[in-house]
Structure 1
Amino acid sequence: MKGAREIGSEDTIHRGPPVTVSRYGPAKRVNHWITAFSLILLALSGLALFHPTLFFLTGLFGGGQNTRMLHPWFGVVLFISFYILFFQLWKANLFIRDDFRWFTNFNDVIGGHEERLPEMGKYNPGQKLIFWAMALLIVALIVSGLMIWDQYFYTYTAIETKRIAVLTHAVAAVLIVCAFIIHVYAAFWTRGTIRAMTRGSVTGGWAWRHHRRWLRELAGHGRIDSAE
């Protein structure tokens, strides 16, 4: 069922007062923050190695040698932590027909006229787009990163392959940083969103305004509990 795939095991309406809706359990929240911090560390260490003018950033990691050693391991942590989330959330992030109406009426999204848009499930199309972009870019980063991780994989790729991998790695890194900035900006722009990843729940009003179809599906499946 389309609705059921968007309902997580922890998703529950709590009657209140006030009405709240559980959105993420402790394990998902911890994993989310591991993913976020590993991406920040990866970006800072990568920038330090990207251009001489940014070499001063190696001071954050104890010098150039430590930065070069730690950078790929940050990538491994990012890959593992994100894909734990991926396999839990991918079904809820599949695109449906109403998502394309959301994109074609993006002016209403920016203007805050959500009443003119289709009702959203657990994730809106913008969130889904960021999710799939992150999934693809992290694969590009880990694959290209392994090709240029000479400490362990030097003999497995030719010089020409390494050159292509370096370019791919740099482009993917720039794109994923852009995606991350958009994700963070959107989280602050949509007031009440940060609470989902700090406390695990959102207000009933937030769910009704931004993800009304998800709220209806929770009620329709009997996912209603007494207040915590």
Structure 2
Amino acid sequence: MEPDDIESGDAIIPGKPVTVDRYRKGARINHWVTATCLILLALSGLALFHPSLFFLTGLFGGGENTRAIHPWIGVILFFSFAGLFFRFWRANLPKPVDAEWLGRANDLLAGHEERMPEVGKYNAGQKFIFWGMTTLILILIVSGVLMWDEYFYQWTTIPQKRVAVLVHSLAAVVIICVWIIHVYAAIWVRGTIHAMTRGSVTGGWAWRHHRLWLRELAGRNRVKKPEAPAE
């Protein structure tokens, strides 16, 4: 049985430079569908959140269309993120090294990444994003269903709907903040976006940021022959 940090498709590819397969095509598509849904939900949700942002409904064909489309995008998000969850939950399980990583977070922010402990495929910050997204999306889908009067009006009373609206709004604000942190971190750590667009990282990137994961791949002989150049 593979270690939790090694997923199907993870492999070292010898060459100059050495590259490491990190995400398969299916995982990358799954990720970008989820990301697109989050952006659309943020825009449509903000448009419905406050009159000053109502102009955003123009992106969806007006207020009526925005109100109709928003919950359905939420349903797509839920099932898309479920795909990511079942792909990655094992690699995001907490480990003792995560506490040490968090304890040295100041070194990371100060640019002294060499002082950080070796981590597997995901560090404690990435795990926080994963489990935070998981929790918030569950809250959003449940509260969203409770306030989706077109189909579930009789499920709840008016006071319960008001609570659902409040919970939904608060969760939406938090998930937008978490998403911003996720995007900022992906831009800040050079090479991260390449992993989710092309599926691979350089050996140097893996050694610097996820050394334990790279060691596990090497120890398990997860080495793949490089593809022959096209003639």
TM-score interval for Structure 1 and Structure 2 normalised by the shorter chain: over 0.9
Q: CA deviation at 1:112?
A: 2.3
**SS of residue in 1 equivalent to 2:48:** helix
Q: CA deviation at 1:128?
A: 0.2
**SS of residue in 2 equivalent to 1:4:** coil
Whichever residue aligns with residue 197 of structure 2, its letter is T
**SS of residue in 2 equivalent to 1:224:** coil
What does the per-residue CA deviation read over 1:161-206, in whole Å, with 9 as the maximum and x for residues that have no partner? Answer: 1011000000000000000000000000000100000000000000
* Equivalent residues of 1:16, 1:226 under 8 A apart: no
Whichever residue aligns with residue 181 of structure 1, its letter is I
Q: CA deviation at 1:111?
A: 1.7
Task: Output the aligned Cα RMSD.
Answer: 0.9
Which residue of the partner structure matches residue 186 of structure 1? 185
**SS of residue in 1 equivalent to 2:3:** helix
What does the per-residue CA deviation read over 1:35-85, in whole Å, with 9 as the maximum and x for residues that have no partner? Answer: 000000000000000000000000000000000000001100111000111
Q: CA deviation at 1:89?
A: 0.4
Distance 2:42 2:73 in 1: 9
* Equivalent residues of 1:17, 1:227 under 8 A apart: no
Which residue of the partner structure matches residue 202 of structure 1? 201
What does the per-residue CA deviation read over 1:84-115, in whole Å, with 9 as the maximum and x for residues that have no partner? Answer: 11011001001111110111111111122222
> What percentage of aligned pairs have identical amino acids?
65
Which residue of the partner structure matches residue 67 of structure 2? 68
Distance 2:189 2:226 in 1: 25
1:68-147 aligned at under 5 Å gives the runs 68-147=67-146
Distance 2:116 2:187 in 1: 21
Which residue of the partner structure matches residue 13 of structure 1? 12
* Equivalent residues of 1:58, 1:67 under 8 A apart: yes
Distance 2:7 2:67 in 1: 39
What does the per-residue CA deviation read over 1:19-50, in whole Å, with 9 as the maximum and x for residues that have no partner? Answer: 00000011000010000000000000000000
**SS of residue in 1 equivalent to 2:201:** strand
Using structure 2 for the length normalisation, give the TM-score. Answer: 0.97
Which residue of the partner structure matches residue 58 of structure 1? 57
